[in-house]
């Protein structure tokens, strides 16, 4: 095997399963878990699919128009496609670039969305890491992230799958929102996106925010208990609860705690 495809193989040989990594991205679609990139000793560019029923890993093609080496990127699934955003290695070129790739599961083909030229980069989000990405309706919603030396973002973007267009969501400048952060988590429950924790500057957070898609407004959910400040954790919706796992704070070992927020009682456990 030669060219770009060959670059996917050596870093994770043998090909029976992915090598150890962190800062990768996963998504679930049609009973399979898809995994892309991350970091081992260097940034990775491999693409895997896990068969849940057979308990087997399969290495997929990441050549051609597939993404480059990525870490701290995001991946979501929508109607038979996977959408990967962000995570490019920092450079003067990638800072102004909108890194967005779509993988069609049926045709096994990658498409890089290059619909925004550099001179109009304000109409689409630039490269970033550590942001959150969720799917609501027919859109992917991106919040926050960091730009390297250019700082931390509080931008809120939506990407419409049907039109392949970006839209910048209005975020209040009076502090009525989560503010700039990265390393947080986000998940969608009914008509709300729930955002927890992350890093603001050098300060880890433990706050919980809700974006209401109906009223297009942020609200801070105040509780008397809950998880400690966390960065790099994961969250998922299960039934009527928000589950948060892992994460930690700087210069400390990550934890293995599992927290549950119940939407009906507004309590943590």
Strand partners, 209: 195, 220
Kindly state the average pLDDT of the residues 130-158: 94
Whether 3 has a pLDDT exceeding 60, the answer reads: no
What is the number of helices (H) and of strands (E) in the chain?
Answer: 2, 20
* pTM of the predicted structure, to 2 decimals: 0.89
User: What confidence score (pLDDT) does residue 142 get?
Assistant: 97
* Residue 76 buriedness (CB in 10 A; 0-12 / 13-18 / 19+): buried
Look at 20-29, 137-146, 174-183 and tell me which has the smallest mean pLDDT.
Answer: 174-183
Whether 115 has a pLDDT exceeding 60, the answer reads: no
- Separation between Cα atoms, residue 218 and residue 37, nearest integer Å: 32
- 225 CB contacts (<8 Å, ≥6 apart)? 267, 268
Question: What 3-state DSSP class applies to 242?
Answer: strand
Whether 111 has a pLDDT exceeding 90, the answer reads: yes
Chain segment 4-50, per-residue pLDDT in tens: 443 444 444 455 899 999 999 999 999 999 999 999 999 999 999 99
User: What confidence score (pLDDT) does residue 172 get?
Assistant: 61
Chain segment 191-214, per-residue pLDDT in tens: 999 999 999 988 999 999 999 999
- Separation between Cα atoms, residue 151 and residue 133, nearest integer Å: 19
User: What confidence score (pLDDT) does residue 224 get?
Assistant: 81
User: What confidence score (pLDDT) does residue 176 get?
Assistant: 81
Whether 55 has a pLDDT exceeding 60, the answer reads: yes
Residue pair 194/177 in contact (Cβ under 8 Å)? The answer is no
Question: What 3-state DSSP class applies to 146?
Answer: strand
Strand partners, 43: 39
Kindly state the average pLDDT of the residues 169-187: 86
Whether 227 has a pLDDT exceeding 80, the answer reads: yes
Torsion of CA 146, 180, 245, 128, to 10 degrees: -20
Q: Which pair of tokens denotes residue 58?
A: 């399969």
């Amino acid at each position: 095997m030669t060219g770009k495809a060959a670059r996917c193989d050596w870093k994770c040989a043998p090909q029976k399963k992915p090598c150890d990594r962190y800062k990768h991205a996963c998504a679930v679609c049609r009973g399979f878990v898809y995994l892309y990139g991350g970091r081992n000793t260097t940034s990775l560019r491999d693409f895997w699919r896990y068969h849940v029923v057979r308990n087997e890993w399969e290495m997929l093609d990441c050549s051609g128009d597939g993404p480059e080496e990525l870490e701290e990127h995001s991946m979501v699934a929508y109607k038979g496609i996977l959408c990967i955003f962000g995570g490019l290695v920092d450079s003067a070129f990638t800072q102004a670039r909108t890194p967005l790739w779509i993988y069609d599961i049926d045709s096994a083909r990658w498409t890089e969305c290059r619909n925004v030229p550099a001179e109009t980069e304000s109409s689409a989000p630039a490269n970033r890491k550590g942001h959150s990405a969720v799917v609501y309706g027919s859109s992917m919603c991106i919040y926050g992230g960091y730009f390297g030396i250019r700082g931390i973002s509080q931008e809120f973007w939506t990407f419409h799958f049907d039109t392949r267009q970006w839209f910048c969501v209005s975020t209040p400048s009076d502090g009525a929102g989560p503010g700039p952060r990265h390393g947080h988590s986000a998940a969608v429950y009914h008509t709300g996106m729930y955002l927890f924790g992350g890093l603001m500057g050098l300060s880890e957070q433990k706050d919980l925010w809700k974006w209401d898609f109906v009223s297009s407004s942020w609200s801070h959910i105040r509780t008397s208990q809950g998880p400690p400040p966390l960065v790099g954790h994961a969250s998922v919706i299960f039934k009527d609860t928000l589950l948060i796992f892992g994460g930690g704070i700087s210069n400390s070992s990550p934890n293995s705690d599992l927290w549950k927020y119940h939407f009906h009682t507004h309590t943590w456990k």
